[in-house]
Amino acid sequence: MNDSIKLGRIAGIPVGTNWSVALLAMLMVRYVGFDLLPVYSPDLSFTARLVLGGIGTLGFLLSILAHELGHALVARGYGLPVDGITLWFLGGAAKLGGVSPSPQAEFRIAAAGPGVNFVLAVVFAGMAYLARALEAPNAVVPLLVLLVIINLLVLCLGNLIPAAPLDGGRVLTAMLWRRSGDRAQAISVSAWIGIGIGTAFTLFGLWRLFYVDGGGVGVMIDITTFLTGVFILSLARQELAHAAQRRLLREFTTASIMKSSPPALLAWQNVAESLDRIAHLPQESFSVIDSNGAAVGIVTRNQLLSVPMWERQPMPLTDLVVSLGEMESAFADDTLEDVAHRVFDSPNRLIAIGDGSGQVLGTIDLPSINAVMNPEPKPTVTASPIR
Ligand SMILES: [Zn+2]
């Protein structure tokens, strides 16, 4: 689901689309303009069918976009990073980083998308009612009713099926999490339901495809049902793996894998002097102290080495230091389940572990967390060239 085409930004959130949307749009124009509307208005010209099909399709795509914006804006309100929104063949996706800070946040972020579509359904229903009262042309009311059905049944209720990765699955996760306090367990439950629902969609799509003659558009709907099932299945499996990882990370405190900071670097020295000091040290990250001995921040070996040779002498160390204020931090008795996502989201893939009084006890970086998650190094497979 990568963006192939960038469409711009809405409220600062990048919006893009995948080429597969073109396929979705063509199917939709074909269905709305050439199958559905002629039933109500048989004398529509080819151009009118194309234009009305296009308007219906645009309404559909904008409803998906509004759904994803609902998720993204509420997530941003909770301080979670929002990478952007992508539209693709099976709908849309809001790429959200981080982890919901609370069950309530998880609930609201998940419910926001379907909530937006419920409101849109009411708006389109009002417009349809008005169009009928004003005796609008025959095709207008069915077009608006279609948008009501899409928003209400597909985008709102369809997404509220309580199976991860659907929004309803996240709502269920939030409710179970709130009740038990165990997020990993809650994710597992919705993911298993997701595996059930995904399997059902996959099999139903296959059954329809081979045993029921659905006709032109019907076949495309069956293929879409099948693909949706496969998509739900694969994401539900990812969620299960994610829950298992959380359980594993819970076994460790930050203190148990923390790398203690070596004798600190001195804030008033330059990059070249600092590199000399750490030349024989094994550590990868260092705390930096001021002339009073107070910690001012963290610098990594990679940061120091990335400075070009000729700039190392003139550049003060303070130019590179990531101050403790800017840095994600945690306490020594936090579990890795609580802090892992902060390491993933931090710019240096590194967080500081403090003792609560402003002193840095050490750091945790991404390789340390990966080592916990994959305890046994995978055997390297070397492919032999085909001759
Ligand atoms: Zn959603």
Run means of pLDDT, 10 residues per run, the chain, 387 residues: 79 90 90 86 88 94 95 93 88 84 93 97 96 87 93 94 91 94 91 95 93 77 89 92 85 80 81 90 84 82 91 90 75 79 75 74 80 64 52
The per-residue pLDDT for 242 is 84
Chain-centre distance for alpha carbon 29: 29
Residue 387 counted as domain residue? no
Measured in Å, residue 196 CA sits from the centre of ligand 1 at 19
For the chain, the domain total comes to 2
The per-residue pLDDT for 202 is 95
Measured in Å, residue 164 CA sits from the centre of ligand 1 at 11
The per-residue pLDDT for 58 is 95
Both tokens assigned to 269:
């020295």
Measured in Å, residue 294 CA sits from the centre of ligand 1 at 47
Q: Are residues 211 and 189 part of one domain?
A: yes
Q: What is the pTM of this model?
A: 0.75
Measured in Å, residue 220 CA sits from the centre of ligand 1 at 23
Q: Are residues 284 and 228 part of one domain?
A: no
Q: Are residues 354 and 240 part of one domain?
A: no
Q: Are residues 237 and 341 part of one domain?
A: no
> Which of 104, 93, 97, 99 lies closest to 70, judged by CA?
93
CA distance 128 to 150: 14
CB atoms within 10 A of CB 238: 14
Residue 146 counted as domain residue? yes
Chain-centre distance for alpha carbon 244: 19
The per-residue pLDDT for 380 is 52
Parallel/antiparallel/unpaired status of strands 295-300 and 322-323: antiparallel
Measured in Å, residue 140 CA sits from the centre of ligand 1 at 28
Residue 381 counted as domain residue? no
Amino acid letter, residue 68: E
Q: Are residues 310 and 203 part of one domain?
A: no
Measured in Å, residue 115 CA sits from the centre of ligand 1 at 9
Measured in Å, residue 53 CA sits from the centre of ligand 1 at 25
Measured in Å, residue 166 CA sits from the centre of ligand 1 at 7
Q: Are residues 309 and 178 part of one domain?
A: no
The per-residue pLDDT for 364 is 82
The per-residue pLDDT for 196 is 95
Residue 383 counted as domain residue? no
The terminus-to-terminus CA distance of the chain in angstroms comes to 35
Residue 382 counted as domain residue? no
Q: Which residue among 194, 217, 250 closes a domain? A: 250
Residue 338 counted as domain residue? yes
Measured in Å, residue 32 CA sits from the centre of ligand 1 at 24
Q: Which residue among 235, 250, 265 closes a domain? A: 250
Measured in Å, residue 188 CA sits from the centre of ligand 1 at 19
Measured in Å, residue 34 CA sits from the centre of ligand 1 at 29
Measured in Å, residue 75 CA sits from the centre of ligand 1 at 12
Measured in Å, residue 167 CA sits from the centre of ligand 1 at 5
Backbone angles phi, psi at 157, to 5 degrees: -65, -40
CA distance 16 to 65: 10
Residue 202: domain span: 5-250
Beta-carbon contacts of 47 under 8 Å, excluding residues fewer than 6 positions away, are none
Question: Which residues partner with 87 through β-bridges?
Answer: 17, 92
Measured in Å, residue 387 CA sits from the centre of ligand 1 at 49
Measured in Å, residue 369 CA sits from the centre of ligand 1 at 30
The per-residue pLDDT for 384 is 55
Measured in Å, residue 242 CA sits from the centre of ligand 1 at 19
The per-residue pLDDT for 387 is 43
